[in-house]
Copies of this chain bind each other. A is one copy, B any other.
Amino acid sequence: MGKTIRKLEVASPVPADIDIANSVEPLHISQIADDLNLSSQHYDLYGKYKAKGPGSVLLSALDELQGTGDGYYVVVGGITPTPLGEGKSTTTVGLCQALGAFLDKKVVTCVRQPSQGPTFGIKGGAAGGGYSQVIPMDEFNLHLTGDIHAITAANNLLAAAIDTRIFHESTQSDKALLNRLCPPNKEGQRSFNAIMLRRLGKLGISKPKPEELTPEEVKKFARLDIDPDSITWRRVMDVNDRFLRKISIGHGPEEKGMVRETGFDISVASEIMAVLALTTSLSDMRDRLGKMVIGNSRAGDPVTADDLGVGGALTVLMKDAINPTLMQTLEGTPVLVHAGPFANIAHGNSSIVADKIALKLVGPGGFVATEAGFGADIGTEKFMNIKCRYSGLTPQCAVIVATIRALKMHGGGPAVVAGKPLDRAYVTENVSLVEAGCVNLARHISNTKAYGVNVVVAVNKFSTDSDAELNAVRSAALSAGAFDAVICSHHAHGGKGAVDLGVAVQKACENVTQPLKFLYPLDVSIKEKIEAIAKSYGASGVEYSEQAEKQIEMYSKQGFSGLPICMAKTQYSFSDNASQKGAPSGFVLPIRDVRASIGAGFIYPLVGTMSTMPGLPTRPCFYDIDIDTATGRVIGLS
């Protein structure tokens, strides 16, 4: 791996992210691919610095590679963050730069594609930061290779299919519907096509020709009879557009008064993003997309994308998206970007496809670091209980990223608000505040250890942190059961600043003594699973709304109770209340509603009120973003 390592010249104080990113000439991505022994038939170039693949092509060739063992599998989670973020992506990148550029290991970083909405809103980009970044950072943050656009297109095609189908069913007889669904060919013959045969199979009708159906069968086949009130499928957009959270559609005169209330989510919250993240092959993706449930018939039966005739078209829209995007870090180590963020309202992990390929590419003794969004209570929990369950992969080590800033907040420091200056407490030494905050870290450590992995705490060091504060975290982490706890300065120094972390992670991986243990078995009730997760948050119990009770009952009746659980919960507290910092306990966790992502394969309880569509502030990031028309360079991206 050594040959394409790029030596970083670091400046102090650390310049702006975009300036660091622009100061480096990226390697042609074919060089990065060469280092991974990827032949050009396994990927397609997307410009000079991005390649798409190796996805379904290589996945289907994974059989050949089955002989090859996997590398070590490291998941990077965090403590409960402040709204500023604690540098989890930065640490994931820094760790890999250390392993690849300084410790001579084969390594692949697996990160999630950022949502474009927040890039123009409050948060800015998500390529890491300082001297630990994925580059080119503008390409990483914008469009990338179009996966999220494909998700948006597929999600909204399905949405259009739902409303249009209800509309056409409302104006046509069963017979007319059948005749329109199965039009005669040039010889006047009517027939079912492949996707119709799927539906007929599901209905237990095995007649090959439309004219052989009884009137009752015609009705069953041609009339989905969707209950508009049951529709859980919403439209999506990768823009922070708060005015679309709740809308009323169908006001045009041609829609004949069929007005319905619905709304838009941000695209990365689409079930199709979760399908992409959890799928394992093209044919698996086809099945999952077809199985997605959009609501129920009036008789209470789940209605799927395949029932609407659109599962194949959705797969066609997603066929390129199944391939991860190959990029590079500032130090020239390889990165696979795939699937999406938002571990609060989605499962928030990068894809199984990317991780699987990466583990084979690095092989035994190599390392794959994959990021799990937000705090370990949601990101790592979903990584273990959903993602590893579907992938069959076993992590050896979990990194928990902590900052002095966030620990002080958990210890009782004043509120940290994005866009507002930090309180003095956060930039001057206060060891006791840090020590008090370590309860949050300790609970994340013990929760994560329970999966059977070794836990390494990475303290992402800021220039204002004192040695006494840093040492306090180290000893708190070790007494809470961490395998090791390391101070890192990869933001300021790149991979060099995370060498100790790399060494600790290597030791942790080599010294696993336990098998992987899930937090709950699948074959218990939905409520038992929710309660197991709630207990890991510190809750003393769970309270279900009437709506939640109703949904749980329905999904259980429909046969979906064997799925894992994907909680939609605030990332800012173990509890449902974002202002409860530290390690709250004894609270009752409220479940407001329960949805199901049958295609992705999980039940999706909503803890309290979670927004699935961010907004824009008075002065969004976009005010600073422009193009230098002389050079074509992006400026002002943060």
A contact residues vs B (CB 8 Å cutoff): 44-48, 52, 56-57, 116, 120, 138, 142-143, 146, 149-150, 152-153, 156-157, 159-161, 163-165, 167-168, 172, 177, 180-183, 186, 193-196, 235, 237-252, 254-255, 258, 260-261, 263, 281-283, 286, 309-313, 315-317, 319-320, 419, 421, 611, 615-620, 622-627, 629-630, 632, 634, 636-637
Contacts and interface: CB of A to CB of B under 8 A. Distances in A.
A596 B52 CA distance: 40
A328 B459 CA distance: 54
A239 B194 contact: no
Given A310-B622, A622-B309, A241 B156 contact: yes
Contacts of A616: 160-161, 164
B52 A626 contact: no
22 contacts: A143-B146, A143-B150, A149-B149, A152-B152, A157-B622, A159-B239, A160-B241, A161-B616, A165-B618, A180-B617, A193-B623, A243-B260, A244-B249, A245-B254, A246-B250, A247-B247, A247-B251, A286-B626, A309-B622, A312-B622, A313-B625, A316-B625
Given A56-B632, A146-B149, A245-B254, 19 more contacts: A46-B47, A143-B317, A156-B237, A156-B239, A157-B239, A160-B239, A160-B242, A161-B616, A164-B242, A164-B616, A180-B618, A193-B623, A193-B624, A196-B623, A245-B252, A247-B249, A282-B632, A283-B629, A311-B626
A116 B153 contact: yes
A311 B623 CA distance: 9
Given A47-B52, A260-B243, A615-B164, A627 B159 contact: no
A167 B245 CA distance: 14
B622 A313 contact: yes
Contacts of A618: 165, 168, 172, 177, 180-181
> Chain copies in the assembly?
2
A252 B246 contact: yes
Contact of A627 (B240, B247, B286): B286
A618 B166 CA distance: 10
Contacts of A248: 247-248, 251
A627 B252 contact: no
A313 B625 CA distance: 5
Contact of A316 (B161, B193, B634): B634
A347 B143 CA distance: 26
Contacts of A239: 153, 156-157, 159-160
A630 B59 CA distance: 12
A629 B286 contact: yes
A620 B161 contact: yes
A322 B293 CA distance: 39
A343 to B, nearest CB: 22
Nearest to A171: B618
Contacts of A172: 618
A626 B315 contact: yes
The 5 closest A-B pairs by CB, nearest first: A312-B626, A313-B622, A149-B149, A283-B629, A160-B241
A180 B245 CA distance: 24
B183 A419 contact: yes
B263 A252 contact: yes
A629 B282 contact: yes
Contact of A195 (B46, B309, B623): B623
A250 B254 contact: no
Contacts of A237: 156, 235
Contact of A46 (B46, B160, B611): B46
A255 B282 contact: no
Given A180-B617, A248-B248, A632-B282, A626 B242 contact: no
A597 B181 CA distance: 40
Contacts of A160: 239-243, 616
Given A149-B143, A161-B616, A626 B194 contact: yes
A164 B240 CA distance: 10
Contacts of A120: 157, 313
Contacts of A56: 632
Contacts of A146: 143, 146, 149
The residue among A46, A56, A160, A630 with the most chain B CB atoms within 10 A of its own CB is A160
A481 to B, nearest CB: 39
Contacts of A250: 243, 246-247
A116 B143 CA distance: 18
Contacts of A182: 619
A282 B150 contact: no
A540 B146 CA distance: 49
A187 B100 CA distance: 39
A492 to B, nearest CB: 18
Contacts of A313: 120, 622, 625-626
Contacts of A611: 254
A249 B238 contact: no
A120 B317 CA distance: 10
B261 A242 contact: no
Contacts of A286: 626-627, 629
Contacts of A320: 143
A281 to B, nearest CB: 8
Contacts of A309: 619-620, 622-623
